[in-house]
């Protein structure tokens, strides 16, 4: 529940993880436990507001995180981090209120699904988790002729941090890149470790997963794409056709990145 009452003090932070945790610290430091928390990106200026500007500080953030870790089990830690990755304006507010609630109450408060913030965080985390699962499913690598496997994504939430390990564990003997077109960054696995990368050419030239200009695809790439499309068609049972169900499972916004849904050839 986003509180918009103007008498409630407003905190502005930079949208970062450190910033979020610093805001929790400041709330307790200043003993104001009812606050509106807004990230600068989402803030629309209002002449009645006198915002408290939160300066992200690693030390304060670490103290808060340590404290939270003591009060959360592995599931609620995951929920907390996933909710942060949702980048939703209301998520930041829930996280702040949740942290205040957890610090102000006895053990196991994280299990109180009757509490609005506890429930909201479990639900937002579920959405982020679903999106990260979809990325594990829908990522389609194409092979470049230097044997690097490349995939373009545009997820609803910032899920790269939670899918990196899955791909590193699975594809340990091939170089790969997963690039988030929306957030303008990607990760590159070089057979040893994962590094963050930013490519200008991706933003300029990759409109969908199948358009490559400045890099050359492996000459066999198109042939395997074609075989995959053949397979996708042949394994369908026409008599059971159910497009409504199909679209529910594979929403249209993902189609442009899916080899089998690319009808251009």
Partner 1 sequence: MWERIREKLTILADAAKYDVSCSSSGSNRKNDSKTVGDTGSGICHTYTEDGRCVSLLKILLTNYCIYDCLFCVSRKSNDVKRAAFTVDEVVELTMEFYRRNYIEGLFLSSGIFKNADYTMERLVKIAKNLRLEQKFNGYIHIKTIPGASEELIQEAGLYADRMSINLEMPTDAGLKLFAPEKSHEEVKRDLAIVKNQLTVYNSERKLIKSTPKFVPAGQSTQMVIGASAESDKDILLTANNYYNDFNLKRVYYSGYIPISNDSRLPVIGTQPPLLRENRLYQTDWLMRFYQFDVHEIVNDNHPNLDLDIDPKLSWALRNTHFFPVDINTADYAAILRIPGVGVKSAQKIIAARRFGRLRTDQVKKMGIAYNRAQHFMVCSDSSFQLNTPEPYQIKSKILSEGNSRFSKTAAAQLTLF
Question: Which residues make up the interface to partner 1 (CB under 8 A)?
Answer: 108-109, 111-115, 119, 133, 136-143, 149, 151, 169-174, 220, 223-224, 226-228, 230-246, 248-250, 258-261
Distance (Å, whole) CA 148 – CA 218 = 9
Least spacing, CB of residue 38 vs partner 1, in Å = 24
Tokens, residue 249: 């499972």
Give 31 or 106: the residue with its C-beta nearer to partner 1.
106
Can you tell me whether residue 188 is helix, strand or coil? strand
The whole-angstrom separation of Cα 42 and Cα 89 is 7
- CA geometry: angle at 106 spanning 108 and 83, to 5°? 50
d(CA 136, CA 103): 35
Please, what is the minimum distance in Å from the beta carbon of residue 111 to partner 1?
4
- CA gap 13, 21 in Å, rounded: 10
Q: Minimum CB separation from partner 1 for residue 83, in Å? A: 16
- CB 54 to partner 1: min, Å: 30
Distance between CA atoms of residues 98 and 120, nearest Å: 9
Cβ nearer to partner 1, comparing 46 with 145: 145
Please check whether residue 29 is in contact with residue 39, taking contact to mean a CB–CB distance below 8 angstroms.
no
Nearer Cβ to partner 1 (184/223): 223
The length of the chain, given as a count of residues: 265
Nearer CB in complex with partner 1: 22/86 = 86
Complex with partner 1: residue 43 or 144, whichever CB lies closer:
144
Place of tokens 């963050």: 196
> With respect to partner 1, which residue has the nearer C-beta, 170 or 182?
170
Q: How far is the CB of 205 from partner 1 (least distance, A)?
A: 21
Shortest separation between residue 264's beta carbon and partner 1, angstroms: 17
Give the residue carrying structure tokens 């986003």.
2
Sheet holding 10-13, edge to edge: 36-39, 10-13, 52-53
């Amino acid at each position: 529940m986003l509180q918009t009452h103007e008498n409630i003090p407003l905190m502005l932070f930079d949208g970062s993880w450190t910033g979020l945790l610093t805001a929790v610290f400041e709330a307790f430091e200043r003993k104001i436990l009812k606050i509106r928390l807004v990230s600068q990106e989402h803030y629309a200026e209002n002449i009645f507001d006198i915002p408290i500007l939160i300066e992200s500080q690693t030390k304060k953030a670490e103290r808060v995180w340590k404290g939270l870790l003591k009060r959360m089990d592995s599931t609620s830690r995951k929920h907390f981090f996933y909710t942060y990755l949702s980048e939703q304006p209301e998520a930041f507010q829930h996280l702040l209120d949740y942290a205040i609630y957890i610090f102000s109450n006895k053990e196991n408060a994280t299990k109180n699904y009757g509490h609005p913030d506890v429930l909201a965080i479990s639900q937002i985390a579920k959405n982020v988790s679903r999106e990260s699962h979809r990325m594990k499913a829908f990522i389609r690598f194409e092979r470049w002729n230097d044997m690097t496997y490349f995939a373009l994504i545009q997820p609803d939430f910032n899920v790269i941090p939670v899918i990196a390990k899955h791909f590193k564990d699975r594809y340990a003997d091939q170089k790969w890149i997963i690039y988030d077109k929306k957030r303008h960054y990607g990760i590159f696995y070089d057979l040893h470790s994962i590094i963050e990368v930013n490519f200008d050419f991706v933003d300029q030239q990759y409109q969908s997963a199948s358009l490559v200009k400045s890099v050359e695809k492996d000459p066999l790439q198109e042939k395997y794409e074609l075989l995959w499309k053949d397979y996708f068609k042949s394994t369908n049972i026409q008599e059971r056709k159910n497009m409504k169900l199909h679209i529910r499972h594979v929403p249209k916004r993902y189609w442009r990145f899916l080899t089998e849904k690319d009808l251009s050839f």
